Structure 1
Amino acid sequence: MPINYLCPYCGNYVVTVTTPIPGVLTWLLCTGLFVFGCVLGCCLLPFCVDSLMDVSHTCPVCRRELFRFRRL
């Protein structure tokens, strides 16, 4: 969820922009599915599920990453 935050780079009080990005959990699930036989593209399913990805919070004014929520 986006949060209200004071950007340390531009000094504005902003609501962050959230973006899902692949993280360690996503890659581990993909590798695990591949090892257990999902070789025809099913192993890429974790990259389509936002709840399995890390979340990057960025400032909408200066576009710099403020912090990242890591699932694992």
Structure 2
Amino acid sequence: MPMQMICPYCGNYIITVTSPVPGLLTWLLCTGLFVFGCFLGCCFLPFCMNSLMDVSHSCPVCQRELLHHRRL
């Protein structure tokens, strides 16, 4: 969920922009699926699901990353 805050870099009162970023959980699930027999591209399924990815919060004004929420 986007957050309201004051950007520590540009000083504006903003609502953060969120974007999904592959993290440790995504890579572990991909590796696990590959090891258990999903060779034909099914192992990349975790990269298509936003609920399994980390979330990066950034400022819409200065484009700097403010927070990084990790699933693991």
Return the TM-score normalized by structure 1: 0.99
Give the secondary structure class of the aligned counterpart of 1:68: strand
Number of corresponding residues:
72
Correspondences of 1:1-72 after superposition (within 5 Å): 1-72=1-72
Moved over 2 A (4+): none
Give the 3-state SS of the residue equivalent to 2:9 in structure 1: coil
CA distance in 2, matches of 1:18, 1:29: 22
Counterpart code for 2:44: L
In 1: Cα distance, 2:20 partner to 2:26 partner: 11
Q: Over the residues paired in the alignment, what is the CA RMSD in angstroms?
A: 0.3
What percentage of aligned pairs have identical amino acids?
75
Once the two structures are superposed, residues 9-52 of structure 1 have per-residue CA deviations (whole angstroms, 9 ceiling, x without a partner) of 00001000000000000000000000000010000000000000
Gaps of 5+ in 2: none
